[in-house]
Amino acid sequence: MTKDRALEILNSNQSALRALNHATAILFVDGETVAPVGSAPYRAKTLGELSRMQYELTTDKDAVAALEYLYEIRDTLEPVQKRHISELYRTLDMTRKIPMEESVAFDVLISEASAVWHEAKVNDDFEMFEPYLEKVFAGMIKHAEYFDKEKDPYDVTLDLFERGLTKSKCDSYFTELKNRISPLIKKITSAPQIDDTHIVGLFSIPEQDKISRFCMDLLKIDPKFCTLGETEHPFTANINKYDVRITTHYYENNFLSSLYSVIHEGGHALYELNVADSLVDTCLGSGASMAIHESQSRFYENYIGRSRPFTDLLLGYLKTEFPGRLGDISENDFYRIINKAGPSLIRTEADELTYSMHVMIRYELERMIFDGKITVHDLPKEWNRLYGEYLGVNVPSNKMGVLQDSHWSGGNIGYFPSYSIGSAYGAQYLELMKKEFDPYAAVSAGDLTPINKWLEEKIWRHGCMYDPGDLFASVCGEFNPAVYADYLENKFSTLYNL
């Protein structure tokens, strides 16, 4: 095999795979947004067929041989190609570590577990989900052993979702956070509560849609390459850097929910839209990891979107666009309503301060199961105990408790910590930005260009060229959770006059 021939074989194989991935992504987005509901079963059939083709292409003998050859000679390749080949090889290598039959059986299990979870949640019936969840945890533990027998299985599992993340890193992160945030949450719970009743039902859905466009415009999301749709749960679909779809969900009663969904998904979108052109035709053409992605979305949502300069700007816009609608609400009241915090039951509805506690609970539960300290059967009881302990709330049902998230049913165990770590990363970005320019002056001026430029330069353009830990370190040096805890403490102590 020659290098040119190997590249030719691999490129043609990858090009076909990219086309199938593209089609699969559009079928998914279309199904979630505008497709008629009755089209789902046939679409599932088609997706199954496309997935079979993807599998055939991934395991194609010639392509695998070409990849192996190119991996051998990777040091002779230019950097992007070298990284591309190394990443493809890494995936291949991991795929081969799990025996074929087990891999197929696990895919079937996941598909069944997801369906059962849906039903279990609707019926508030953990018992029907339990045997499936047991098998999912068992499967993930077994996979971890296949991947690396020498390492702790939960460390291997964390690494699947966020390369380089370990129990020990999570432990020190969550411990710092718990020690600093828990007392703050307790104080807020007993402080005078913020009244947000006068913003209920203020804007119709077409008006909320207009507000969404304002936010997308403010973030400088180019509508040429990114559109907004409506779905039950907001998400970002990154087809490629020229085609990103974000979605939101409008609630008649609460315009802030959709508004901050748009800003959050907008952050994800900006990242994808600004990956370097040179990476598009490789496997490196999207965000580096889930934590780095969340560090973008939650940066725009919270550090920018829930900052006082932003809420002032937003209030100004709303008062101009919808005269009289907001009455005589003050900038300070508006800022406080938007940042209203307090213990709650549902992670996806949690405020900026308490969000990480929800994540921590899930992390601790996963860790205990991997460590054999509890079983899946104990999850509801342990879940409720931790919600009582960390957030001081009584969980009234499993539907509002352990059954609320889809992640575990989909095999996404070890995934949760990234949500919180991504949030924490943002505090360090903010500190660094402040050394170079005044990000909040940019927000006040309604021109986020310097913020976008900074993130594009440091993070976005690199796509998957670097491991997420290395990427973060190259920008911020060492990860320091105290910066995040300081930020939360300052913000919420001031907000609640503690």
Binding to a copy of itself (CB under 8 A) within 261-300 occurs at 280
CB of 58 to a copy of itself, least distance (A): 15
Among 1, 23, 80, 313, binds a copy of itself (CB under 8 A): 23
CB of 452 to a copy of itself, least distance (A): 18
Exposure letters 46-73 (e unless 16+ CB within 10 A, then b): eeeebeeeeeebbebeebbebbebbbee
φ and ψ at 219, to 5 degrees? -75, -5
State the minimum distance, in angstroms, from the CB of residue 211 to a copy of itself. 18
Of 242, 348, 449, 477, which one interacts with a copy of itself (CB under 8 A)?
242
- What span, in angstroms and rounded, lies between the C-alpha atoms of 55 and 17? 9
Cβ contact 218:446 at 8 Å: yes
- What is the distance between the terminal CA atoms of the chain, rounded to a whole angstrom? 70
Query: Which region, judged by CB under 8 A, interacts with a copy of itself, from 19-27, 64-72, 351-359, 416-424?
Result: 19-27
226 binds a copy of itself (CB under 8 A): yes
The phi and psi torsions of 467 (rounded to 5 degrees) equal -60, 145
Nearer to a copy of itself, 37 or 324 (CB): 37
| Cβ(268)–Cβ(236) below 8 Å | yes
Residue (34 or 73) nearer to a copy of itself, CB: 34
Residue 222, Cβ density class (10 Å: 0-12 exposed, 13-18 middle, ≥19 buried):
middle
For position 239 contacting a copy of itself by CB under 8 A, the verdict is yes
* 3-class secondary structure, 252: coil
Q: Of the two residues 14 and 295, which places its CB atom closer to a copy of itself in the complex?
A: 14
**Of the ranges 67-75, 217-225, 339-347, 403-411, which one interacts with a copy of itself (CB under 8 A)?**
217-225
Q: Identify the burial level of 15 via C-beta atoms within 10 angstroms of its C-beta, where 0-12 means exposed, 13-18 middle and 19 or more buried.
A: exposed
Yes or no: say if 162 and 421 are a contact pair by the CB < 8 Å rule. yes
Q: Single out the segment in contact with a copy of itself by CB under 8 A; choices: 31-39, 64-72, 250-258, 324-332.
A: 31-39
Pairing verdict, β 243-248 and 236-240: antiparallel
3-state secondary structure 224-251: CCEEEEECCCCCEEEEECCEEEEEECCC
Nearest to a copy of itself of 243, 431 (CB atom): 243
Q: What angle do CA 46, 29, 269 make, to 5 degrees?
A: 140
Is 27 a binder of a copy of itself (CB under 8 A)? yes
According to the binding rule CB under 8 A, does residue 115 interact with a copy of itself? no
- Give whichever of 20 and 337 is closer to a copy of itself, judged by the CB atom: 20
Residues 474, 468: Cα–Cα separation, whole Å: 10
Would you put residue 165 in left (φ > 0), alpha (ψ -120 to 50) or beta? beta
What's the rounded Cα separation, in Å, for the pair 326 and 196?
12
Interaction of residue 32 with a copy of itself, rule CB under 8 A: no
- Of positions 30, 112, 125, 159, contacts a copy of itself by CB under 8 A: 30
Contact call for residue 209 and a copy of itself (CB under 8 A):
no
Binding-site residue total for a copy of itself (CB under 8 A)? 43
State the binding string over 39-68 for a copy of itself (x if CB under 8 A, else -).
x-xxx-xx--xx-xx---------------
Cα Rg for the chain, rounded, in angstroms?
Answer: 23
Measured from the CB of residue 244, what is the shortest distance to a copy of itself in angstroms? 8
Examine residue 179 and tell whether it contacts a copy of itself (CB under 8 A).
Answer: no
Choice from 2, 4, 37, 232 touching a copy of itself (CB under 8 A): 37
What distance in Å separates the CA atoms of residue 461 and residue 115, rounded to the nearest whole number?
38
17 or 465, CB closer to a copy of itself?
A: 17
The residue (of 43 and 178) whose beta carbon lies closer to a copy of itself is 43
Cα–Cα distances (Å) from 244 to 190, 272, 288, 352, 452, in that order, read 43, 7, 16, 26, 17
Hey, which residues does 243 pair with through a beta bridge? 240
Active site annotation includes 331: no
Residue 244 contacts a copy of itself per CB under 8 A: yes
Residue 427 in contact with a copy of itself, rule: CB under 8 A: no
Inter-CA distances, 103 with 35, 100, 141, 335, Å: 31, 5, 13, 50
Catalytic residue among 162, 265, 272, 366: 265
Interacting residue with a copy of itself among 11, 81, 86, 227 (CB under 8 A): 227
Structure tokens at 204: 């119709």
Among positions 65-84, residues that touch a copy of itself (CB under 8 A) are none
Per the CB < 8 A criterion, the answer to whether 474 and 165 are in contact is: no
| Residue 1 or 35 having the CB closest to a copy of itself | 35
Q: List 236's β-bridge partners, or say none.
A: 246
User: What's the CA gap between 20 and 33, in Å, rounded?
Assistant: 20
Q: Does 15 participate in binding a copy of itself (rule CB under 8 A)?
A: yes
Residues 362-381 close enough to bind a copy of itself by CB under 8 A: none
Q: Does 193 bind a copy of itself (CB under 8 A)?
A: no
Q: Determine which residue in the list 18, 82, 178, 407 makes contact with a copy of itself, applying CB under 8 A.
A: 18
Tokens representing residue 4 in the block: 């040119």
- Using CB under 8 A as the binding rule, whether residue 36 contacts a copy of itself is answered as yes
Using alpha carbons, list the distances in angstroms from residue 168 to 164, 165, 174, 175, 300: 11, 8, 10, 10, 29
Task: Work out how close the CB of 50 gets to a copy of itself at its nearest, in angstroms, rounded to a whole number.
Answer: 5
Confirm or reject binding of residue 191 to a copy of itself (CB under 8 A): no
Residues taking part in catalysis = 265
Contact positions toward a copy of itself, by CB under 8 A?
A: 15-16, 18-20, 22-24, 26-27, 29-30, 33-39, 41-43, 45-46, 49-50, 52-53, 206, 222-227, 229, 239-240, 242-245, 280
